[in-house]
Chains A and B, each alone.
Chain A
């Protein structure tokens, strides 16, 4: 699974990444997490709020830190 966390690196984006890594650890799913911090790259995904989470090219959430249960639901 390819997970991308989009955000310039503010507190919320870091929190999102941390939560996702936590869930991956807990659930032992096979996933690759990549951070996208460049503004042009972020824009190229069509999102207009950060942090945003993209899983296998589907935008799962944008503009807010997702809840842990939500992340679990996406991963499993």
Chain B
């Protein structure tokens, strides 16, 4: 694998012509393979493997063999392009851009930048301190911290691939609205004194590093590195998620979810949020399950609410943020975001 990657890197460092030809060829191949997945999975399940057409197990296996390559392929493509977009942004630029912005416009900008700024979730604390000490308002910082995990390329890519562009668009828009409004509300509540004291005392001058110039070659490599890193990390969750989804798809009777997660049970939305908040999974693991639940009659709003609360709010993140936030501010943070998710859930159950 290492050798292989090196070879690809070498090739990418070659002439632009080779690179363009490789890219075009790769995308053609991708497209052909992607469009024949339905046939391949059916052939594999019923002709190559001895499963009966229409059996529970057969339908579960087909679902698994269809979804796994499909999701992997989509994820690779989307992570690659988002990687290229991200190579234009850095946390430094984002911070400089956000410092001193007025409240509402700042919240909107912060939520949008949260999607495209590359940052590792374990650096949430230094990032928080960096933003606050550079004069980014508290609420604007929160808009960034809420949008960054909630609206991410993995979630969007999977939603688009498994549930279509409409659901992906709904997720993008509602995720952004929640991030903007929650951040704005937290800002209005004026809770600056609920940040741990040591943050204000940390007077270290903001470090800055000179950014190296990137050409297109570097950006393509950046995208490729993102693919290796992200797909290399999430594939196992994804396969587990698809396996659970396949089980639901094959064995859970049609419509059974309608009574539990359907529109008519008003308690299903808050229930999903309450289960979802402490759960920690990434989008890759949760979305295949969601797809299968929807297929069995769960309502879209309920399922969206579940997914958002799993992805956006998690126990480990709260433990990390507790280092800089006092309990009351953490509680407000969870409360405000959870309310936003609840409203999104009800809204979609009503209009769809």
**Which A residues are within 8 Å of any B CB, using their own CB?**
7-13, 39-40, 42-50, 52, 59-64
Contacts and interface: CB of A to CB of B under 8 A. Distances in A.
Interface stretch (B43-51, B127-135, B264-272): B127-135
A36 B79 CA distance: 31
A49 B119 contact: yes
Contacts of A64: 118
B204 interface: yes
Nearest to B130: A48
A5 B110 CA distance: 28
Contacts, number: 76
A57 to B, nearest CB: 10
B189 interface: no
Contact of B125 (A39, A46, A59, A62): A39
Interface stretch (B205-213, B279-287, B342-350): B205-213
B126 A12 contact: no
Nearest to A62: B209
A49 B120 contact: yes
15 contacts: A8-B122, A12-B122, A42-B125, A43-B125, A43-B129, A43-B199, A46-B206, A47-B126, A48-B126, A48-B127, A48-B207, A49-B120, A49-B123, A63-B91, A63-B123
B33 to A, nearest CB: 30
B198 interface: yes
B323 interface: yes
A48 B129 contact: yes
Contacts of B324: 39
Contacts of A47: 126, 130, 207
Interface residues of B, number: 27
Contact of B120 (A10, A46, A60, A61): A10
B322 to A, nearest CB: 10
B6 to A, nearest CB: 12
Given A9-B122, A12-B120, A62-B91, 13 more contacts: A8-B125, A11-B233, A39-B125, A43-B129, A43-B199, A48-B91, A49-B123, A50-B123, A59-B207, A61-B209, A62-B207, A62-B209, A63-B123
Contacts of B323: 39
A24 B209 CA distance: 22
A47 B123 CA distance: 10
B9 to A, nearest CB: 11
A42 B126 CA distance: 7
B95 A48 contact: yes
Given A10-B120, A40-B198, A63-B123, A48 B131 contact: yes
A43 to B, nearest CB: 5
B90 interface: yes
B126 A10 contact: no
Interface string B225-239: 000000001000000
Contacts of A8: 122-123, 125, 320
A59 B95 contact: no
A22 to B, nearest CB: 14
A44 B119 CA distance: 19
A9 B131 CA distance: 22
A63 B90 CA distance: 8
Contact of A48 (B118, B198, B206, B233): B206
B138 to A, nearest CB: 15
A44 B205 CA distance: 9
B202 interface: yes
A63 B127 CA distance: 10
A8 B208 CA distance: 20
B205 to A, nearest CB: 5
Contacts of A11: 233
Contacts of A9: 122
Contacts of A44: 202, 204
A75 to B, nearest CB: 16
A62 B123 CA distance: 10
A38 B309 CA distance: 29
